[in-house]
Amino acid sequence: AQKVTQAQTEISVVEKEDVTLDCVYETRDTTYYLFWYKQPPSGELVFLIRRNSFDEQNEISGRYSWNFQKSTSSFNFTITASQVVDSAVYFCALSGSSNTGKLIFGQGTTLQVKP
Amino acid sequence: DTEVTQTPKHLVMGMTNKKSLKCEQHMGHRAMYWYKQKAKKPPELMFVYSYEKLSINESVPSRFSPECPNSSLLNLHLHALQPEDSALYLCASSQGTGRASEQYFGPGTRLTVT
């Protein structure tokens, strides 16, 4: 069975703090893809990153960074020097076993960044 | 251009009404999706179209009827809905249905059934 767990339901930080959002996944597939999406209050899910199971290099994009560790089945997301505009719900997702387009979403983490 | 558009943004309808949601993308994507999202929950997949053919129906009640007139357009026809169908309806598209394909989402239609 495939599953994505985002144990942190809500996180509240003050602007300029660093924050890490956790994502743990379960799959029996050897080839799989992981995604992070951001959903601001406006509603649209914004694609942030895709990572395949064979690439364990960490990735950095501006203030965002991702740490993928197969040994612990985790794909964590860190925002450095958080800003109020980072306030949103963040979803981690795993691609389904077959090429159906199905995504297995975690329950999401609501991040509130206070000024 | 990674834009998926949806109309209308908001819709209020009675249980006997018939309405349609529309979705459009011009990225040349061949897969399109409908999701339903309740408050504080992740999106739930409803339908997947691949190359304009319905490939997945996640046991959605027949009061929801999808249609894909061409590769850029996706409609969701609504009829005899229930109050529990009130939710945010999201459309998404991707290059294909392969596991590596990231999905791009529209802003959604916020539906209220009275």
pLDDT tens, residue by residue, B46-63: 999 999 999 999 999 999
At residue A99, the pLDDT reads: 82
Helices (H) and strands (E) counted in chain A, each on its own, are 0, 12
Q: Does B81 have pLDDT greater than 80?
A: yes
> How far apart (Å, rounded) are the C-alpha atoms in residues A105 and B12?
28
* Residues 40-99 (A) with a CB less than 8 A from some CB of B: 42-47, 50, 52, 91, 95-96, 99
DSSP B27: S
* Separation CA A35–CA A94 (nearest Å): 6
Q: What are phi and psi of A71, to 5 degrees?
A: -60, -30
Provide, rounded to the nearest whole percent, the portion of chain A with pLDDT above 70. Answer: 100
Please, what is the average pLDDT of chain A?
94
Which residues in chain B (60-89) have CB-CB distances under 8 A to chain A? 88
Average pLDDT (B9-32) is 95
- pLDDT of B1 > 60? The answer is no
Residue B82 pLDDT class (50, 70, 90 cuts): very high
List of chain B residues whose C-beta atoms are within 8 Å of the C-beta of residue A5: none
Q: What is the pLDDT of residue B2?
A: 62
What percent of the residues of chain A are helix, what percent strand, and what percent coil, each to the nearest 5? 5, 50, 45
Number of A–B residue contacts, CB under 8 Å: 69
Is A100 in contact with B48 (Cβ distance < 8 A)? yes
- Above 70 in pLDDT, residue B67? yes
How many degrees, rounded to 5, is the angle at CA B42 between CA B7 and CA B90? 10
Has residue B99 got a pLDDT over 90? no
pLDDT tens digits, one per residue of A53-107: 998 888 899 999 999 999 999 999 999 999 999 999 999 999 977 888 899 999 9
pLDDT digits 0-9 by tens, A6-33? 999 999 999 999 999 999 999 999 899 9
Under the banding of pLDDT at 50, 70 and 90, the label for residue B43 is very high
B9: Cα separation from own chain's centroid: 13
Cα–Cα dist A44/A39, whole Å:
6
Which of A33, A105, A108 comes nearest B99 by C-beta? A33
Question: What's the pLDDT score for residue B98?
Answer: 87
Q: Given an 8 Å threshold on Cβ–Cβ distance, is A47 in contact with B104? A: yes
pLDDT range class, residue A50, cuts 50, 70, 90 = very high
Cβ atoms < 10 Å from Cβ of B81: 22
The confidence score (pLDDT) of residue A101 equals: 87
Of A43, A95, A103, the CB nearest to B88: A43
Chain A CB contacts of B43 under 8 Å are 45, 91, 105
Note whether B64 and B54 are within 8 A (CB): no
Contact B6, B22 (CB under 8 A): yes
From CA A90, how far away is CA A12, in angstroms rounded?
13
